[in-house]
Structure formats: structure tokens, C-alpha cells
Amino acid sequence: MEGSLRRRGKNSWEFTIEQGRGADGKRHRKYVSFKGNKGQAQQKLRDLLQAQYNGIPIVTDKITVSQWLSRWMTEYLVPNVRQKTIERYQGIIDLHIVPAIGHVVLAKLTPSEIQGMEGELTAKGMAPKGVELVHTVISGAYKYALRMEVVWRNPAKAVTPPKVTRREVEPPEIARVRQLLGLAEQEDHPLFPAIHLIAYSGLRRGEALGLRHQDINLEAGTISIIQSIGRSLMQGIVVEPTKTNAGRRAVDLDDGTIDVLRAHIGKQLLHRMEREGLYQDNGLLFPGHLGMPLNPMTLTRVFQSYAKRLGMDGTRLHDLRHFHASVMLQNGASLLLVSRRLGHASVATTGDVYGHLMPGAQKEAANVFAQVMEQG
């Protein structure tokens, strides 16, 4: 394939790209406008020719970033991601991306413009993790545009967002968790079994609230994680599939937790009978007062109230999941076992989050290696 470059004005160029002959025998050309200096224009032409050689069509449509984000949301995000993710991405698009670069033609957005926008967000005080999420949204939209052959390159790939320093997980102490669970059990709080289950199984909050009676086999001592309950600003309480495919899993229970759940199911049956005619049975293990799905924030507030009473300010309900993983790892459980129990997408995720909680793991590996070397 061949192409030529023609100056149209100061820092303004037009590319003519030969595209061969069509079925009618006529020569086909594509004309592309570009703004920049001569060196940039020459590089751009080389990139376009390489893209065409690789089978990627050269697009000159005038669709804007804003228009494409709307299409990406409708065609890809809504059918494929969870409601909370949709709402979080939509907020980022409306508040940060569209006001800054929404007017730019999708195929003409440059890495420099993306870098400038992310730099401005940082200067205004947005945390690195927030800027990283903005970058993720832009990059994701362009990845879909590449698949749909709307653009020929992803400008976000040339931009490095601010480095995010990951905070190491610091789970609560065993004695403190025992104290909290003991207080909730002593006061016979209706949601004590849910808090106990999260601490003893590492379930996510939504996974625990999504459990149905049909997902529980107390004789075998297992529960099946099939769905999750979340809270949406737009739709209220929503029932969704698990966060990832790996999240759909079976989790074994200890004998004590089985006893807690048995007692809870008995009390729930009595509660349902006392409210006959008012109770709407949805088959949930931890429903609201009249059987409907429980608002996840209700469980969070109950946990926080107990934590505050015990001087555990800053401890979150989700920290019980970290607590479960840390106790298992520090007592010899493998990363693979913990990863499967937590429903992580990969063992690498588990290692990244909890690797620092495995004291002596490197020492043991070093000794094993040295032993093998000595044995030849």
C-alpha cells in the first residue's frame, strides 16, 4: 500500500492513501486530515499505512468521544457488567471525561490530550486511584472501538496514569473478631449469623445476602455461591450473578458455622409463620424483615455499630473477608486453596492482596531449593 503527504496550511496536512482497485476496476483512495508538524505528520502516515497493512480499516467518520462513550455504554457495558460498575463508569464519563474531551472526534484524540486531562484531574486533587479509573474507562471504550473497527489505534495505550500505591491489607486481630461476634450472639441480633458466616467463610457481603435455602446443604456442610445482592442508586436493591465466573463456587463450612445456620433457619421459620400473610418468601437465607432482599447497607451498619462499641473504629465489614484469608494463610493454607475459597479470578490476585501475610514462605522455599541442590 502507498500513501502521500500534502501540506494544506501551517501545521495542517492531508494524507492520500491508496486502497487498490475495487470490483469496478476503479482506484480507491482514502483522504485523512491531520494537524501537527511535518515529522508528526510523516509518523502518522506511516502508522496509518501499517494499520491498513495489518487489516485495520482507516476511519474518518466524525463520531465524537462523547457519542462513542454513549454507544459503548449501551452496546457493551450494560449487557456485560454489573449495575454498580455501570453507574460508576457513567458518573466518571459525565463528570470528568465528556466535559474535558467529549467534543473531540474519536479517531483524532491524541495521547497528549488524554495525558493533559489526567494531569488536570490530578492537579485538582483527584486521588491516583480515581485517575487510574478514568484512564481505564477511556482505554476500555477504545478497545471496543478497535473491535468494532471504528478507530485504528488506542491513544490511551501511550499514556501512563499516576502510580497507585496499594494499601496493604491489615485485618483485625482474632481476639477482636471473637469479641465482636460474641457480643452480637449474646444480644441475639437477627444478623449475627450473617456476620458469623462472613468471618468464617470469607464471603463477600453481597454473596452472603444472596444465599438461598436451595444453595445450602447443611448435611454435607457446604454452601453454593450463585448470586449476589447489591445496592444501585438507580435501581435500588438488585440481584445479580457473582462478581466473576470464579466467584460461582462451593464453600465448605466448619461444624460450628453449620450449627449457627441451623439455629438461624429454625428462628426464620418461626418468624415467617408469625407474619403469615405479610411475609413475602423469596427463599433467601438472610432476607429483610418481611422476606424481601435485605439492603446491604443494613448489614454494614449493624457491623459498624458493634465495631464502634468495641473501639474498633475504622474496621469494615469487608475486613472480615481479609481476616478469614489471613488466618488461613498464616496457618499453612495454600494460596490456591484460599483463592478458590474467596472466589478470586486468579491465584495472582490472592498473592497480590495477601502475599505479605505469609511469614516464612520465602525462607521455606529457599531451604527446599538449597536441599535439592545439595542432593544433586
- Residue with grid cell 495472582, as numbered in its chain: 348
Nearest one of 79, 186, 98 to 137, comparing CA atoms: 98
What per-residue confidence (pLDDT) applies to 369?
A: 63
Locate the domains of the chain by residue range.
3-53, 65-158, 174-317
The pLDDT of residue 360 is 61
Same fold, 65-158 and 174-317: no
The pLDDT, as a whole number, for residue 149 is 74
Burial class (CB in 10 A: 0-12, 13-18, 19+), 40: middle
Q: What is the pLDDT of residues 109-147, one digit of tens each?
A: 999 999 999 999 999 999 999 999 999 999 999 999 988
Over residues 261-296, the pLDDT tens digits come to 999 999 999 998 988 889 899 999 999 989 999 999
Weakly modelled stretches of the chain, pLDDT under 50: none
Tell me the three state secondary structure of residue 177: helix
Handedness of CA 294, 298, 327, 248 (dihedral sign): positive
Q: In CATH, what is the architecture of 65-158?
A: Orthogonal Bundle (1.10)
The fold adopted by the segment(s) 174-317 is hpI Integrase; Chain A (1.10.443)
pTM of the full predicted structure? 0.72
Count of other CB atoms within 10 angstroms of residue 287: 21
CB 244 within 8 A of CB 343: yes
pLDDT of residue 76: 93
